[in-house]
Each structure stands twice: as structure tokens, then as C-alpha cells.
A and B are shown apart, each in its own frame.
Chain A
Amino acid sequence: MSVQETKITLRKIEFPACAKEALSRISQLICRRGPSLSQMDLALDLMAEFVFCEIDKRGNKLSPLNPIKELQLLDVLFEYFNGNIKEVFKNTVFLSLFSGTTATLRSRILSKLISIAIGVPSKSVLISASALMQQVGDSSMNYNKLAEAIVKDYFVLIPNATQRLSGLPDCAPQFVANFLTAVGEIYYNDKKGDVQFPPRSLLETVVLWVTANSKLCIAAQQNPSALPSGTIVMESTTSIAGLFKWCILAPIYKQDCELYAKLHLGLLNNILDIPQGYQPKAINHVHLAVPIRYIYKYAASLVRKKDEAEKNRYLLEDANLQLSLDRYAQAVQVALSVNCVYGNVGELLNQVSQLPQNKLWSIVIAANQPNK
């Protein structure tokens, strides 16, 4: 069937039936060994015209779907990805629908689809979502947007989500692991201006998940997604460094919620459960070094306009700063002890040795000197 014929056939079908039909055509086109460029193009055209209704038959841009059509489309998508298709094919279709140049355009639909999948919950959809998150990477804006949308849906709009979501790590551990990495990035981050703190219900949920599942943080690394052959597989980042950052920075941002101590302990236990003997890959030294900058800033504000001789005493007597440093040193020590930090560990130790004085840090640095 020629390209034109396919489109003409599909145009005879009404929405949303045409979206359903288009999805099955798309999967036929791209789920094969080395699809040709023209097949890929056709698939992309079909997505734009028949699935997301972004263009008309002449290629003119259309206004976004009205809410009813959007709901119908979500229904079609949800049904498709819950269908009886091989995981790798599902992931292939999912990736081509929601990544690439059109990703921003479709992020609204994506976040709604994932929200539904969390609520149901649908393991099948979440596995594909997890593959997408892993492939686009944690630094991508879309990725953060997606996480923010989920947080909004589940932790801002719904008051008591914790109980409801407690079982999610059992259902889709890889997805939760990637989600944690994303939220770890969003909060306690001053890149976009003011530092944001996680909503309490999110924090509660994270503590519950991490404490109850000591292998959760490395779940995505342990079970990589099934991806189409030929894909350059991106190693997913664990949430350990990002979440540690919360615990380390919470005291100096006066976030004295007891949940941070629990999260900290949960993360330490997660580290202890990382299987040893492989090339370290759980924590990047760069990620682990992130809090340093914030601590410097805080320490500087603490001793501003203070007598030079008194500075050290102020720093030692500031309980928040010392708690922050203690937690930081504990995190680095435990991580180094199970050999799960990759990158330049010496550089990391060098950086932390510039931190304000702290007894535990000096012990940890001394204990981890390479010549020891």
C-alpha cells in the first residue's frame, strides 16, 4: 500500500477510531529490523495527522485537541499500550510518539497518560514511560516537566496520595526509580532561581518508598528497559545523589522535618544493598559533589561581617551546618565503602576537604585517602 493510499484509507475513518488504526499501522512500520527512512517518515506523518491531530491533510497546523477529543485519545493510547504487544515494540512506539522534535508539543498528553497509568496503576504503560525517561535523560527539560506534572497531579492536587501510591514500587520499580531521579533534580536546586522544597506529601511518599524497598534506587539500573535494536542505550542515573542532596541541604534551608533523617537512613541502606563486584556505576562523583556549592554559600552567609578569628567558632557551633556536614560525610563514606561511586573520587575528596571544619569529614577523608 502506498503512502497516499494509507493516508486516504485512514482519512475515511473518524477520530478516535482513526487514531487506533493509525497506531497499529505505525507499529507495523517501525517495529521491524531497520525500518527505511520513508517508513519512518510515514510513521511520523501518521502520528501527527491521525493520532495527535496536529496537522490537517494539507499539512496545516491545527489548534490543540479539545478536552473531549483529548480524553478520547488518552483512552486509545492507554488501551493500545495495555494491549498484548511485546515490550520492546511498545517501547519503540512509545519513544517515537513522545520523543524528538515534537516532544514538547505532546508533553501534555504524555503527562496525562502517565498520570492515568500511575492511578490505575498500569505496569505496562509505566514500563514504557520508564524507557522513555531513561532514554531522554534526567537533564532534559521535558523530563523535569513530566515529573513536575506528576507531582502536581498526585502530591499537590490530591491531599493523601502516600497511602495510594505506597504499592507503586512493587508494580513499576524502574519507573519509580526514574521518577525519584527526576524529583531529586527538581528540588533543592537554584538553577532556576529560588530553591524549591518538595511538598510534604511527596516527601512522605519518597521516604515510604525508599525505606520499604532497599533496592529501589538502583531498580532502573538493575533492570534496563527493552529497547529497539540499534538504539544507543542511555545508562539511567540513580536517584541516590539527588535525594541525598535533599537530606544534606534540608538543615541549612531550615527544613527541619524529621522525614529527612529517615530518608537519609533509607538511602544509606539502599547503598548497602547495592550488589558489589561490578564496575561502580550507581553514583557519579559530580552528582555527589553538588551540595558543596550550597554549603559554601550558607557558610559564607553565616560568617559574613564576623571577626576573622571568630569565624571558625561560628561554623563549628552552627548545629544546622554541622548536621548538614555530618549527613554529607556519612553519605560519602557509606557510598565509598561499597565502591559505588564512579568518576574521579580523588577530585571529590579534594573538593570536600575545602568544606567548613567537621570532625566526621576529617575522619572520612583520612580513611579514604588512596594511600591508606
Chain B
Amino acid sequence: MEIQSLYTLSDEEYVIQRAKIALTVDPVAAKAWMITAKTLYPNNFGVQFEAYRIEKTAGHLKEAAKCFSDLIGKFHQHPEFWNEINKVTSALRIDSDLDPEKQFLSKMFKHISPEIQHKLLLITADHCEDTMEHCKLLLLLLQKFHSAIPSHAPALIDTLLSAEKHSHASNHPINNYRKILVCELLPLLNEETTTVELSSKLVYKLLHKAIEYYVHSLNFHNNNGQGIANAELSWDKLCSVLEFTARQLGWDPYLTTFGQNWTKEGYWQKLLTFCQSQCMNMDDTNNIRQLLYCLTVFFLQCLHDYKLSLAPEPCPGQPQTSYFLIEAFVDPTYPSPIIEPKSKRRKLDHETSSPQITVDKPELRSIVNNFLMTVKCWELLNSTEALQRGQLDDALNYIKQKQDQYSPLKRNLRAASIQYLKKNYYASYNHIRSVIEILPTSNNGHLSNCLITGGTQRHLHFLPLTKLGILQMCTKLLVRSILEKAEGNYADLAIGNILVLSQLDWPQEEERLPSLLKQIQQRGAFQYYLFQTYVVNVDILEELTFLWTHQVVLDVVPHLGPRRIGTRGADKGVKEEIRQAIKTQVCRSNDALDQLIISFITKERESILQALM
């Protein structure tokens, strides 16, 4: 008989074996055997662990949890069980693991009583040789058991700080220790009402670490266009670090209350109010510090939001377009810009000299608003001498330095614009050529109507970084370069080049045509050998044909050139050929203008430079 064959086993083995045999035929009886075994051998690890394994294999959450709880008090030194403990804690940290064992262990953990959970995490953390693991486990402990915060949080802070110092990552504020400290631990400390005993020096240090982390994360984002750290930057968390600091240092909660109804505009007003109310006692370092830190964090948030809004989420299926602030153009002959009544009032109030900032689409106004708020913060930060003191300079200088981390496209575009403004047209053209070489290929975009405004205010524009957007900007820069270089006295080459470039933005550029045509007419001749390659606009061709039929010599077909002088007005063959040339150009009027302009700017370097010299 099967059972009797077990009689030779030892007592422990017999009872366990009976449970195992029963498991397949009668799970209920198996449990009864298991309970018996556990009460018979409370101090036998083999029996207790086997009981746990049987429950685990059978997938009984509650029972396995109970066995596990029994084991942890007595047997956590046992290597076999220690291994199991590690499996549980590692399962806890991976929420979406498909491994059924880990899923089971993670669920089982929830059935363990809180005291045992606490004990489990503490034991594991204490035994952990890897510092990172140790920190993660302690963090898990604190997250699950807020009551452990006063006793364990200061030690965890110390560990994280010194681990960061001694790890390879010490020079990089973006490291995992810092991330745990800033993004997990400090916000957690703020959530809790139980106080943690920390020296004020340490509290400042933690705040600095937090701000530093955010500053670097911002630039990280800058570097790669779309940074990974970006998604993890939660301003709520930095605000909660600030709240925590305020509570620890006994600051006035006026500036450090970030409730549900918090708005940027509202907070800005608060900052101003605080500034005004405190301006009498700016020597009170506590107040200055308060203002400094709050304003810094707010500034960073505005800056971050501004950067985010520069590359808004695209509609599904559309390529993402980022925007780039450039110096755009002002033409007093244009109608004055329509300003929204609200901002108009404000502008008239105190900032008549401030530039006007345009975007292509009304829904992108948020870029402008974010930009303006950021600028306001920056100005306030720089307005008070007292505020300029201190650690902030480091952070801000850093941001300035990082400007050379722009992509080559942005850098060249910026340089082209600056050189144009400095009237270094030659240099500007070279940058434009660099830009044209690396135009985005996947994002075509549209031509803008906002690059030029009327009035006399400085005009800034958020340029969409699309192929057409950039090309339009470059073309405009080049047209203006040529125009300004010529100072009203145009050579044929300059006129020709302007005609070619104007085609892209037709009919916006149409108004320039009459004055150019007038010059040609006065001269009675127009020589431009690039005509057949680049002039395809019907309006321009029509005007030129009109001039030609009114006694103006068109020297636009290179091989006819030398003969033209001798046979002026008489050679029918030549006339026919010019007519034919014009006709051919008219037929090309549907050519892709962007390609045409691109090849003009890249291939006709000599002709363009000649007009710029």
C-alpha cells in the first residue's frame, strides 16, 4: 500500500510527503496535513519552507503569505529562504512583469501583515550589499510605511548623498541616486505630516540638489531635442520639495503653498506682492532666500514650459514641428499689426518699447505667453542686487553657456540672423548656405505671413523649424542682405537675384517689383544670364516681357549675348529666340519653387556673393 511504503521515512518526511501526495488528489486534506506538519515542527526550517513551497506552487496567496510570515521571523538567515525574500522584494519593484512567479509574489506581499512587510523590507535593505538596491528598498519601505519616516529617512538621505559623492556619477547631477533623492524621497517627506529632524544646512543642501537636478534635466532636454528626463520632470515634485524646505525652515507659507488652483499668473502676482511688501527689509536674509528660491524654481518652471511649448505635440500622423525664436523683419510700409485689446492695454501701460512677438497660428500663442513669463522672471531675478547674490548665478550662467548646445541648424540660423543684423552679409550668406544644406526633409511645413510686420517696434517671431519655414526665413534674409548692400543702387545681378528669391514668397514680395522694374526701364537693358535657370514666375515674366516690347533690351540668353550688341532691335532670329526663352520659362511656372530656390542659393554662390560684395 502506498501510504505504508512511506513508513520508512523519517517523521518529518512522512508528514510532508503525505501533504504532497494529498495535494494532487485532495487539496483540502493536503492543507490539513500541512497545518499539522507546521504545528508539529515549528522550528524545522525544512518543514516550514516546504509548507510555503506547497502553498506557493498551488497558487494560494493567503496561505503562502501566512507561511512566508511564519518563516521570516525565524528563518531569514537561511540561504534558501533568503533567496526567496530577494525574489519577493525584486518582484515588488517591477509592477508590470509578466513572469507569473513574480506576479504571485507581488500579490502575496499584499496579503502579508504590515508589521511583517515592514520587517521584510528592513531586513532586506540591511542585508543588501549594493547601495542602490539598499536605497531602493529603504525607499520602498518608507513609501509603504510612513511611520518609518522619522527613524529611517535621515539615514537614507545621508546614504544617497554619500553614494552620489562616491559613485562615478559624482560630477553629473543627473544620476540615479539624485533621482531617488529629488524625485522620490523629498516629495515623500513633504507628504508626511510627521516631522523629520534635519539641520537647516542640510535642508538647504537638499534644495540645492533638487534645483540643480532640474536645471540639468532642462538642458538634457535641450541637448537631445526630446530628452528622456523630460517626462520625469514633475514640477509638482519640485514644488513639494520647496514646500518641505519651507516647513523645515519655518518660512512664511505665502509663497510656498501650491494648491489645486495654482496658476502661473496668480503666482507671479504673489511674487510681486511679496517683493513689494518685503522690499523695506531686504536685509532680512531669510526673506531674500525665500524669494530667491521660490522665484528661481518658478523661473525654471516657466523656462521649462517655454521650452516644451517650442515643440508642441503634433497632430497624429503629422511630423512634429519645433519653433525657434528669430529676429524677424519690420517694414513701416506694412499696415500696423493688430494687437489684441488686452495685451494692447498692457503694452501701452509700460512696455511700449518691448518687441512684438509673432507666431503663425493663434493656437501657438502659448509659446509667446510662456516666453513672456519667463522673461519677466528673469528680469525680476536680475532687478535686485540682493537677489543676484548667491548660488543662483552659477545656475544661470550655466544655462547661458549651454546656448552653444543648439543643433547645427539652429546655431547657423541664429548666426545668419546675427550676422545680417551686424551687416556682415557675406558671413550671413555662408551661414544661410549651411542652413540650406541641412534643411529638415521630413517636415515640409508652410510659408508664414508673419515674418514681416508693420510699425517700428522690434519684431520677434517664433519660426516653425520646417523646410519651408526655414527656407522662407533664409530667402528673406538674403533678399534683405542684397537690398541693403545695394543701398538703392542696384546692379543687374542684384536685381536678378532679388527677382529669383522673391518668387518663393510670391505675391508677398510683389510690392518690391515695381521699383526694380523702374530701374531696368531707366537703364534700358537688363542682363541676367541665370534667367533661364531660375526665373519662372508668370507675373515677373509678364512684366519683363512688357519691358522688352517697350524697347528694353533683355540680355538673358547667354549665347546670344555678343551678337546682341551689333544687331540691336533688328535681328528677327534673336527676337524669336528671346520670345521662345520667355515662353519656355512660362511653361515652367509650376516648378517646385522651394527646390528652385534651394539650388539657387547653393549653386549660385558666385553670383550671390557678387551682389553682396
| Residues of A in contact with B (beta carbons under 8 Å apart) | 258, 261-262, 264-265, 268-269, 272, 316-317, 322, 326-327, 329-330, 333-334, 337-338, 359-360, 363-364, 366-367
Q: Are B28 and A265 in contact (CB under 8 A)?
A: yes
B28 touches A262 (CB 8 A): yes
Among B33-41, B79-87, B225-233, B539-547, the one that faces the other chain is B33-41
Residues of B within 8 A of A316 (CB): 1, 4
Is B32 located at the chain interface by the 8 A CB criterion? yes
* CB-based contact A272/B35 at 8 Å: yes
Q: Which of A261, A327, A333 contacts B39 (CB 8 A)?
A: A333
Report whether B28 and A261 are in contact in the complex, using a CB–CB cutoff of 8 Å: yes
Are A334 and B35 also in contact (CB < 8 A) when A363-B14, A364-B40 are? yes
| Nearest CB in chain B: distance from A331 CB, A | 9
Q: List 11 A-B contacts (CB under 8 A).
A: A261-B29, A265-B28, A265-B29, A265-B31, A268-B32, A316-B1, A329-B36, A330-B33, A334-B36, A337-B39, A359-B6
Determine the chain B residues whose CB is within 8 A of the CB of A269 once the complex forms: 35
Interface presence of B7 (CB below 8 A): yes
Residues of chain A lying within 8 A (CB to CB) of residue B1: 316-317
* Beta-carbon contact of A363 and B39 below 8 Å: no
Would you call B348 an interface residue if the criterion is a C-beta within 8 Å of the partner chain's C-beta atoms?
Answer: no
Q: Is the CB of B4 within 8 A of A330?
A: no
* Cβ of B3 under 8 Å from chain A: yes
Contact of A330 among B6, B35, B42 (CB under 8 A): B35
Contacts A264-B32, A265-B31, A327-B32; is A360 near B15 (CB within 8 Å)?
yes
- Name, among A268, A334, A337, A363, the residue most crowded by chain B CB atoms within 10 Å (CB to CB): A363
A333–B32 Cα gap in the complex (Å)? 11
Contact yes or no, A258 B28, CB < 8 A: yes
CA distance A265 to B26 in the complex (A): 12
Q: Are B11 and A330 in contact (CB under 8 A)?
A: no
Distance, CA A265 to CA B40, complexed state (A): 16
Chain B residues contacting A262 (CB-CB under 8 Å) are 28
CA distance A116 to B11 in the complex (A): 52
| Known contacts A261-B26, A261-B29, A322-B3; A360 and B35 CB within 8 A of each other | no
A-B complex: 3 closest residue pairs judged by Cβ atoms: A337-B39, A330-B36, A261-B28
A262 to B31, CA, bound (A): 10
Residues from chain B with Cβ under 8 Å of A334 in the complex: 35-36, 39
CB pair B32–A359 under 8 Å, yes or no, is no
Closest to B29 in A: A261
Query: Which residues 12-49 in B have Cβ within 8 Å of A in the complex?
Result: 14-15, 18, 26, 28-29, 31-33, 35-36, 39-40, 42
CA distance A302 to B486 in the complex (A): 127
In the complex, which residues of chain B have a beta carbon less than 8 angstroms from the beta carbon of A258? 28
Report how far A182 CA is from B393 CA in the complex, Å. Answer: 85
When C-beta atoms are compared, the residue in chain A nearest to B41 turns out to be A367
Please measure, in the bound complex, the distance between the C-alpha atom of A366 and the C-alpha atom of B39, giving whole angstroms: 14
A174, B39: Cα distance in complex, Å: 28
Q: Given A317-B1, A333-B40, A364-B40: A261 and B32 within 8 A (CB)?
A: yes
Tell me if A363 and B7 are in contact (CB < 8 A).
no
Interchain nearest-CB distance for B532 vs A (Å): 95
Contacts of A265 in B (CB 8 A): 28-29, 31-32, 35
In the complex, A327→B31 CA distance in Å? Answer: 12
CB–CB B7/A268 < 8 A: no
Q: How far, in whole Å, are A329 and B35 apart by their CA atoms in the complex? A: 12
Chain A residues with Cβ below 8 Å from B39 are: 333-334, 337-338
Task: Give the distance in Å from the alpha carbon of A265 to the alpha carbon of B15 in the complex.
Answer: 16
Q: Are B7 and A337 in contact (CB under 8 A)?
A: no
B28→A363 contact, CB < 8 A: no
From B4, B11, B26, B36, name the one whose CB has the most chain A CB atoms within 10 angstroms: B36
Residues of A within 8 Å of B32, CB to CB, are 261, 264-265, 268, 327, 330
Q: Complex: how many Å from CA A353 to CA B11?
A: 17
What is the distance, in angstroms, from B63's C-beta to the closest C-beta of chain A?
A: 10
Find out whether the CB atom of A367 lies under 8 angstroms from the CB atom of B31.
no
Residues of chain B within 8 A (CB-CB) of A360 are 14-15, 18, 36
Interfacial chain B residues near A272, Cβ < 8 Å: 35
Distance of A272 Cα from B38 Cα, bound (Å):
11
Contacts of B14 in A (CB 8 A): 359-360, 363
Q: A261-B28, A363-B15 are in contact. List 14 more A-B contacts (CB 8 A).
A: A261-B26, A262-B28, A264-B28, A265-B35, A269-B35, A272-B35, A329-B36, A330-B33, A333-B39, A334-B39, A337-B39, A359-B7, A360-B15, A360-B36
Hey, which chain A residues are within 8 Å of B15, CB to CB? Answer: 360, 363
State how many angstroms separate the Cβ of A55 from the closest Cβ of chain B. 56
Within 8 A of A (CB), among B347-382: none
* Chain A proximity of B54: nearest CB distance (Å): 14
Instruction: Report chain B residues within 8 Å CB of A363.
Output: 11, 14-15, 40
Q: Decide: B28 and A337 in contact? CB cutoff 8 A.
A: no
Q: How far is the CA of A265 from the CA of B60 in the complex (A)?
A: 15
* Cα-based distance from A360 to B17 in the complex (angstroms): 12
CB distance from A58 to the nearest CB of B (A): 64
What is the distance, in angstroms, from A329's C-beta to the closest C-beta of chain B?
8
B4 x A337 contact (CB < 8 A): no
Report the nearest A residue to B30, measured CB to CB: A265
Bound form: Cα–Cα A202–B18 in Å: 30
